[in-house]
Structure 1
Amino acid sequence: MTTPHPPKSGEGDLTQVSLSSLEHYAYCPRQAGLILLEQTWTDDAATIRGTLLHQRVDTPGNQARGTIRTLHALPVWNDQHGLTGVCDTVELHADSRVLPIEHKSGRYVPGGPGDLQAAAQAMCLEEMFSRPVPQAVVYSGTDRRRHTIPIDETLRSRVLQTAQQVRNLLDRGELPRPPADRRCKRCSLATDCMPKLLTGTGRYQDALTRLYCADDQDNA
């Protein structure tokens, strides 16, 4: 097995993008902006379930069972593409296969943000262990099963494109506009984001207009 080396740093290197930020940006650019630019985070039932699920795999260590060695909370990186993060679980198989496993508390969504995060983990492991990683796994706590993902060129391109979009977000330093769609109902940052108010939709904008009018009358 190749011994991993620390990530390099130096002038001219790409700004490092965390693997978790790829998932956040893929789900909602504004969510990523709130987390990365304003350090905003609020827990809800879903994030707490995720925290409880990850307690099993967030303690660094390794164990062997048969021909498989399992690593938990493994720091990973890819210097070439400027990626860095931590893998929940990595299986090292006797036939030299390296398999990252990303744990999610919710239901698996094919082609969703979880796939992107798992693919980025695979790309990091390829550089660290100097071997191809053609597959990754997303484990869903809801259905309690593994979902195998082929790390094809399309998915790799999505990883690199999303990483560059995160860098652009960091360089601009401006929060993206809120989407104000069905994603907001499942987002723990909806209260911090105020999507419907900021997009001027429905009764939220009407309430804001009435409030401004009342203030103007009081100051008249």
Structure 2
Amino acid sequence: MEIREEDYLMLSGIQHFAFCRRQWALIHIEQQWADNEYTAAGELLHKNAHDPYFNEKRKDVIISRAMPVVSRSMGVSGECDIVEFRKVPDGISLHGHRGCYQVFPVEYKKGSPKATDIDILQLTAQALCLEEMFSAEIKEGAVFYGETRRRETILFTDERKDKVKAYFNEMHQLYDKRYTPKVKWSKSCNACSLKDICLPKLGKAPAVKEYIHAAITEDCE
């Protein structure tokens, strides 16, 4: 069943969701947001990539910036930082350009490669949208990290694509219910820009019933 356009989710939300389901819900369901030094630095890096009026061609590569993408099957929409169309013997055709091209998405991140797969999943989600839009298979892309100043090539495996689809399916279920998951504190909460809104450490406090029971038990001993 095709998802209505007004119910489409933000593609970039998959990174929030993979990091913390509660963070995603606070941002995308409750519309809460707060900047910190990490989000501010990331915003500055993206300004160079997100100029929709600055497209260029370098030899056999056409570079499109801030390209809008959408997937009707997953019910998501968003933007790619950069999409490179690389001239190849066998690929897709582009209006106004001769030859065939391979689609290669590039995502910009401020830091260095992460231990988790959240950046990879966001890029894979972009690739799935591009595959649907161009009716083409996209095998790889890259994440550019501002700290290392280099690209990391990412392969779009079936396992990663299936994980992205499963995440968006779960996100739609939570969004339809307008449900925000409960606090589940972890060390990663310390770097979250929403920690003062989420108050994750309160989730570690015992329930009132448990507190009273513990107090009574202590008095009786």
TM-score (norm 2): 0.83
Instruction: Name 1:216's counterpart in structure 2.
Output: none
Give CA deviations for 1:147-181 in whole Å, capped at 9, x if unaligned: 11110110001100110111111122121112211
Instruction: Name 1:58's counterpart in structure 2.
Output: 50
Residues in 1 aligned to 2:199 and 2:126: alpha-carbon distance in whole angstroms: 32
Q: Which amino acid aligns with 1:193?
A: C
Instruction: Name 2:21's counterpart in structure 1.
Output: 29
Residues in 1 aligned to 2:107 and 2:120: alpha-carbon distance in whole angstroms: 9
* Contiguous gaps of at least 5 residues in structure 1: 1-10, 210-220
Contact 2:17 2:23 in 1 (8 A): yes
Residues in 2 aligned to 1:160 and 1:27: alpha-carbon distance in whole angstroms: 16
Contact 1:83 1:120 in 2 (8 A): no
Structure 1 ranges of 4+ moved more than 3 A: none
Aligned pairs for 1:182-201 within 5 A: 182-200=187-205
Identity %: 34
Instruction: Name 1:43's counterpart in structure 2.
Output: 35
Contact 2:2 2:73 in 1 (8 A): no
Correspondence 1:136 to 2:129: no
Instruction: Name 2:122's counterpart in structure 1.
Output: 117
Residues in 1 aligned to 2:22 and 2:39: alpha-carbon distance in whole angstroms: 18
Instruction: Report SS of the residue matched to 2:171.
Output: helix
Aligned pairs for 1:1-220 within 5 A: 12-13=2-3, 15-61=7-53, 62-95=55-88, 96-109=101-114, 111-200=116-205
How far 1:83 sits from its partner (Å)? 2.3
Q: What do you get for the CA RMSD once the two structures are aligned?
A: 1.9
Cα 1:110/1:198, change in 2 over 3 Å:
closer
TM-score (norm 1): 0.83
Residues in 2 aligned to 1:22 and 1:34: alpha-carbon distance in whole angstroms: 13
Residues in 1 aligned to 2:179 and 2:9: alpha-carbon distance in whole angstroms: 17
